[in-house]
Amino acid sequence: MSDLDSQVPYWDGVAATKTFTHPLHLPWLDGSAGTGAAGEHAAILDYGCGYGRAMEELARHGFDRLTGVDTSPGMIDRARALHPALRFATLDAPPRSPFPDAEFDVALLLAVLTCVPGDAAQRQLIAELHRVLRPGGLLYVSDLPLQDDERNRTRYRAEAERFGTYGVFETSDGAVCRHHTRAWLDTLLTGFDTVATRTVPLRTMNGGQATGLQILVRKPAP
Instruction: Measure the CA–CA gap between 219 and 217, rounded to whole angstroms.
Output: 7
| Model confidence at 36: pLDDT above 80 | no
pLDDT digits (tens, 9 = 90+) for 74-106: 999 999 999 999 999 999 999 999 999 999 999
Is the separation of the CB atoms in 79 and 46 below 8 Å? Answer: no
CATH, residue 187: 3.40.50.150
**Phi, psi at 98, each rounded to 5°:** -85, 15
| Model confidence at 1: pLDDT above 70 | no
Q: What is the pLDDT of residue 3?
A: 74
Is the separation of the CB atoms in 95 and 121 below 8 Å? Answer: yes
Is the separation of the CB atoms in 192 and 119 below 8 Å? Answer: no
| Model confidence at 70: pLDDT above 90 | yes
- Containing domain of residue 74, as a range? 3-218
Return mean pLDDT, the chain. Answer: 95
| Model confidence at 41: pLDDT above 70 | yes
Instruction: Measure the CA–CA gap between 100 and 166, rounded to whole angstroms.
Output: 36
Instruction: Measure the CA–CA gap between 203 and 207, rounded to whole angstroms.
Output: 5
User: What residues form DSSP beta bridges with 180?
Assistant: 145
| Model confidence at 202: pLDDT above 90 | yes
The stretches of 133-208 forming alpha helices (DSSP H) are: 150-163, 182-188
Share above pLDDT 90 across residues of the chain, in percent, rounded to a whole number: 90
The predicted model gives 127-141 an average pLDDT of 97
Instruction: Quote the number of domains for the chain.
Output: 1
Fill in the amino acid letter for 79.
Answer: A
pLDDT digits (tens, 9 = 90+) for 137-196: 999 999 999 999 999 999 999 999 999 999 999 999 999 999 999 999 999 999 999 999
